[in-house]
Amino acid sequence: MRVLVTGGAGFIGSHIVDALVDAGHAVRVLDALLPAVHRTKPSVNDAAEFITGDVTDQTAVDAALDGVDAVCHQAAMVGLGVDLDDLPVYTTHNDLGTAVLLAAMARRGIGRLVLASSMVVYGEGGYRCAADGPVRPGPRQPPDLDGGRFEPPCPCCGAPLRSTPVTEDAPLDPRSVYAATKVAQEHLAAAWAAATGGTVLALRYHNVYGPRMPRDTFYAGVASIFRSALERGEPPRVFEDGGQLRDFVHVHDVARANVAALRHSSMPGRLVPVNVGSGQAHTIGEMACVLSRAFGGPVPVVTGQYRAGDVRHIVASSDRARELLGYQAAVSFTEGITTFAHAPLRR
């Protein structure tokens, strides 16, 4: 199979390129090499053809799609960003770029797409109240957060809640600009599939970490932010009380999930979302401690600060990934975080 990987020079995309090459596929990369991600051109697997171009550029996309059987769409601006001034660049690269790509695929009759989506489309994860059963708490309020009350209460009775794994049929509730653009990407891809009879697997990544994460950037994930601090000799600064539950999944597992998704014959005319995580819950504070200890750096500092748009708990249900793709994370939390402590980051 000849596969186009958009964003194939990026953190996750470059590992997908490696996995596809190892699996015997012919790979072409389209990457704009945005300065927010790449200060210099990164190395990409020599076996892959590389095209420098933006997914918002119809001419570049048409050239990249020539002779392609399937597309693995990773190109996107990621992370919460800095402030609302980032809104135009997020919607341009994520949503306009996806629209340009889908239109070009329709013209060429390319009907297989794997889309990089994200856990952020859910907002908060799953919750259960002892009295009211499964519930969906609303956004946390600044007065509560300012007072150190970080756990969302039951929206029905106000009682404490228990975190549960989030499944793919949970309502979408984006709570940041980035999250809204990922929801829009899924809707655009679903409309494309319905119109063309194409197949889409939207892989909703949870907290991906591993080698080649970008260093010292506002757009990096929390694992990279903590590693960057340690390399500067500073303690990782953990927001809230450190008790936020997340699903940390190694990038090698994410790459394997993409290879499996490209092989899978999904439902024609429909988008099928699939969580890609480890299925294991760990707190951000726990991750910071394991990382600091493995790195040999200072002990993390719990700050009590918070970021607007952050959610309290979100952990993946991996049932659909296992049943549909035969995917199960192979890299354990302790092994992955320990090796990540000394893995190379991109500057």
Catalytic residues: 178
* CA–CA distance, 71 with 25 (Å, rounded to integer): 12
* CA–CA distance, 262 with 221 (Å, rounded to integer): 25
Estimate the crossing angle of helix 97-108 against helix 58-65, to 10 degrees.
Answer: 40
Tally the residues of the chain: 347
- Determine the distance from the C-alpha atom of residue 80 to the mean position of all C-alpha atoms in its chain, rounded to a whole number: 12
Please choose, from the candidates 165, 173, 234, 248, the residue with its C-alpha nearest in 3D space to the C-alpha of residue 206: 248
* CA–CA distance, 321 with 95 (Å, rounded to integer): 25
* CA–CA distance, 286 with 302 (Å, rounded to integer): 11
* CA–CA distance, 307 with 142 (Å, rounded to integer): 10
* CA–CA distance, 286 with 282 (Å, rounded to integer): 7
> Phi, psi at residue 144, to the nearest 5°?
-65, -45
Helix (H) or strand (E) segment spanning residue 32: none
Q: Which residue has the tokens 């601090």?
A: 229
Helix (H) or strand (E) segment spanning residue 330: none
